[in-house]
Structure 1
Amino acid sequence: MEFETTRQGGILRINVLAERIDAACAIEFKDRIRELCGEEPPRVILDMQRVDFLDSSGLGAVVAVMKILGKDRSLELAGLSTKVSKVFRLTRMDSVFKIHPSAAAVMKSNASAA
């Protein structure tokens, strides 16, 4: 599974370059995100604009990443497709995660605030 990362101020943006996060890759997804996040920064934006499919294993991996980051760091989601957004709504995980329309808007807003 491939990712692209960008750091800006206190934000790490991780672009998921896969179209699917499912049982076949959920463990790899979680492990790679853990490696990319390290000990900082305080905010991690997971840009999922290319992800078109997320099953329960994929959702579990995203939740596991949030738990790995702990209470002092936040995992925010961005660019969810209609299908992926529906999974978060149906499981009510949209109330657990902060979800942004796009990662670019978050990064631009952060740059303006700095």
Structure 2
Amino acid sequence: MKLQAEQDETDLIIRVQGDRIDAAGAVPFKDQILQLAEGGTGRVVLDLSRVDFLDSSGLGALVAIRRMLGARALDLMSPTPPVVRVLRLTRMDMVFTIHPAAGSPNGA
């Protein structure tokens, strides 16, 4: 899966370029995110504005990333309605901080 990363003053923002996070790509997705985040100290923010499908394997990858980041936060930005639906059904919207609008999660 193609990812685009940029570091601002405090956060690593990773824009997911694929439209699906599913069983076929969940493990490579997780590995890519962790590789991009390696050595950093700030929050990791995943821009999910292009992701239209998230299955249980994709959700598991997000949970694993969050756990493996340790003390660092993993926030989700701009999830599409189908992704929000999965997050709500699984109550993961209570676990992750979700920023509904695109742009900086810092509000700038």
TM-score bracket, normalised by the shorter chain, equals over 0.9
Q: Which residue does 1:101 correspond to in 2?
A: 100
Q: What are structure 1's unaligned runs of at least 5 residues?
A: 110-114
Aligned length: 108
Percent of aligned positions that are identical:
48
- Paired with 1:69 and 1:92, the residues of 2 have a C-alpha distance of 20
**1:40 Cα offset (Å):** 1.1
Return the offset for 1:10: 1.1
Identify the residue that residue 74 of structure 1 maps to in structure 2: 73
> Distance between the aligned counterparts of 1:107 and 1:40, measured in 2?
18
The 8 Å contact of residues 51 and 80 in structure 1, kept in 2 or not, is answered as yes
Deviating beyond 6 angstroms after TM superposition, the runs of 4 or more aligned structure 1 residues are none
Alignment partner of 2:105: what SS?
helix
The structure number with the bigger radius of gyration is 1
In 1: Cα distance, 2:9 partner to 2:81 partner = 30
Query: How much does 1:105 deviate?
Result: 3.5
Q: Which residue of 2 aligns with 1:54?
A: 54
More helix, by proportion = 1
- CA-based RMSD: 1.1
Structure 2 gaps of 5+ residues are none
Alignment of 1:20 onto 2:42: no
Residue 27 of structure 2 aligns with an amino acid whose one-letter code is I
CA contact (8 A) 1:8 1:107 kept: no
Tell me if structure 2 keeps the 8 A contact 1:42–1:73: yes
Q: TM-score, normalised by structure 1?
A: 0.90
Q: What residue number does 2:82 align with?
A: 83
In the TM superposition, residue 108 of structure 1 has moved relative to its aligned partner by: 4.6
